[in-house]
Amino acid sequence: MKKILTALCLLATAGAWAAPQLIAHRGGTGDAPENTLPAIKLALENNAEAIWVTVQLSRDGVPVLYRSSDLSALTNSEGKVSSLTAAELAKVDAGWKWGDDSHPWRGKQATIPTLQSVLQQWPHTFFYIDIKSPDADPTVMGQRLLEVLKTTDSLDRVRVYSTEDRYIAALPPAIPRFVTRSETRTRLANISLSHQCQPASQRDGEQWYGLELKRKVEVVEKFTLGEGISRRRSPGIKRQWIASARRIKRTLSSSASTVRKITARR
């Protein structure tokens, strides 16, 4: 059975995971259509320790699980997620285009679920929530997420992420989140230049960074008479993370956390 999981290494001195955490990316895409109930169920049966899901807002403002900008990319429908209500999306076949030409998940009830239904079905599972909504108002998205997280008593078992700074900035203070993409890039540049993972200062509090290890890094330094360019490839960054892991664990303050993201295949 093919399994594709994502691992996050959370390094802190107290209370954090001491080893990489196995996370089913997009709910687990190796055995079932992404961001669906069957995918999450299979991922947990395959010993995933947490679930990473992608969230957008439906036409009636309900957070639902779907990644692509158009329904035609993965389903038997078309248009934006925001063009249909949550009830209408629940009838869309999210397994329509999954797999090879035999399309084994067509008609198997792999629909587009609401975030609330997912959190209620797995009340003890940790979830990473990735905001991908292309046209949702960031403030509205933040409020809708907060309502769902409070209703399902999930604030202590989620962490919200987005590649768009505007969504992170608009989150209500009560919602745990990763730092913005801009802050993450600054941290990645510092790691690239210093060749080591620097712990956050104690005054920064707990911060979560999502660093992609398969990315080339180019740092441009501006000078009066020109500029200097430093280039790093992801394997170098990866080696720095691995070599620094034990040292970071010893030196991080109790209020700081560092995150790295890798892909694990079995």
Contact 149, 158 (CB under 8 A): yes
CATH topology of domain 23-198: TIM Barrel (3.20.20)
Is it the case that residue 252 has pLDDT exceeding 60? no
Residue bearing tokens 């707990």 = 206
pLDDT value for 222: 81
pLDDT value for 225: 78
Contact 230, 219 (CB under 8 A): yes
What band does 266 get if pLDDT is binned at 50, 70 and 90?
very low
pLDDT value for 98: 95
- What predicted TM-score, i.e. pTM, was given to this entire model? 0.77
Is it the case that residue 264 has pLDDT exceeding 70? no
| pLDDT tens-digit series, residues 153-208 | 999 999 999 999 999 999 999 999 998 888 888 877 777 677 776 655 555 567 78
Q: Pick the residue with more confidence: 250 or 130?
A: 130
Contact 46, 32 (CB under 8 A): no
Q: What is the mean pLDDT of the chain?
A: 80
Q: Minimal CA–CA distance to 249: which of 49, 17, 23?
A: 17
What band does 256 get if pLDDT is binned at 50, 70 and 90?
very low
What band does 242 get if pLDDT is binned at 50, 70 and 90?
very low
Cβ contacts of residue 79 below 8 Å, gap of 6+? 70, 71, 72
C-alpha triplet 178, 181, 183: angle, nearest 5°: 85
pLDDT value for 199: 59
Report the C-alpha gap between 159 and 93 in whole angstroms.
Answer: 28
CA-CA-CA-CA torsion sign (40, 32, 167, 70): negative
Count of CB atoms situated within 10 Å of the CB of 147: 15
At position 113, the amino acid (one-letter code) is P
In terms of C-beta density within 10 A (0-12 exposed, 13-18 middle, 19 or more buried), how is residue 183 classed?
middle
As a dihedral over the C-alpha atoms of residue 56, residue 211, residue 265, residue 114, rounded to 10 degrees, the angle is -10
pLDDT value for 17: 47
Is it the case that residue 140 has pLDDT exceeding 60? yes
User: Of 7-11, 19-23, 69-73, 220-224, which has the strongest mean pLDDT?
Assistant: 69-73
DSSP 261: E
Which region among 5-19, 22-36, 129-143, 168-182 has the lowest average model confidence (pLDDT)? 5-19
DSSP output for 102-155: T-TTTTSS----BHHHHHHHSTT-EEEEEE--SS--HHHHHHHHHHHHHHTT-G
pLDDT value for 215: 64
Q: Pick the residue with more confidence: 243 or 66?
A: 66
At position 62, the amino acid (one-letter code) is V
Which region among 96-100, 182-186, 198-202, 261-265 has the lowest average model confidence (pLDDT)? 261-265
Q: Minimal CA–CA distance to 219: which of 244, 243, 248, 195?
A: 195
